Amino acid sequence: MRLDADECRVRFAAARVARLATASVDGRPHAVPIVFALDGDTVYTAIDWKPKTTRQLRRLANIAANPQVAVLADHYAEDWTQLWWARADGTARTAQGDEAERAIELLAERYGQYRAERPPGPVIAVDVQRWTGWAFLS
């Protein structure tokens, strides 16, 4: 069953993890799991301190070249009547100043790891233009 935008937002906000899908300027896709905070129709995620192979992350380069992204949250269960997904399609950018600080506060409220050690950033903001979703049962 198709979900309306309000139901997508509710399910998306309750999810603990999502996948950020970006594409390079030549259309090469790249998807990574993220933790996030939702504030209205803006999804925030931050580059954190976990080990990475490089600080020159492909998601950041892709956003700079092509800011159109999708963020997907979903729920899987062996009982397929419990399946659902919600997707936020939008334009990504790097949050700055007070907005970035507020985003980190929202992330710290959701994730204890960020209360203990704040992510250094940058903070990615996705301004959602379209919510879509589906659930086996509503």
Token pair 């399910």 in the structure block, residue: 11
Q: What's the confidence (pLDDT) of residue 111?
A: 97
Query: What share of the chain has pLDDT > 70, as a percent?
Result: 94
List CB contacts of 125: < 8 A, sequence separation 6 or more: 42, 43, 44, 92, 93, 94, 95, 99, 103
Whether residue 123 is predicted with pLDDT greater than 90 in this model: the reply is yes
Range of the domain at 106: 5-135
According to DSSP, residue 25 is labeled T
Mean pLDDT on 1-29: 96
Whether 95 contacts 123, CB under 8 Å: yes
85-115 pLDDT tens trace: 999 999 999 999 999 999 999 999 999 999 9
Q: What 3-state DSSP class applies to 30? A: strand
The CATH number that applies at residue 100 is: 2.30.110.10
pTM of the predicted protein model: 0.94
Instruction: Inform me whether the pLDDT recorded for 135 exceeds 60.
Output: yes
Q: Residue for token digits 């710290």?
A: 108
Q: Is the pLDDT of residue 138 over 60?
A: no
Using the structure block, give the residue that is written with the tokens 């659930």: 135
Mean pLDDT, rounded, for 115-121: 92
* Band of pLDDT at residue 137, cut at 50, 70 and 90: confident
Please provide the DSSP assignment of 60-77 as one string: HHHHHH--EEEEEEEE--
pLDDT given for residue 51 in this prediction: 56
Structural domains counted in the chain: 1
Has residue 54 got a pLDDT over 70? no
Mean pLDDT of 59-80: 96
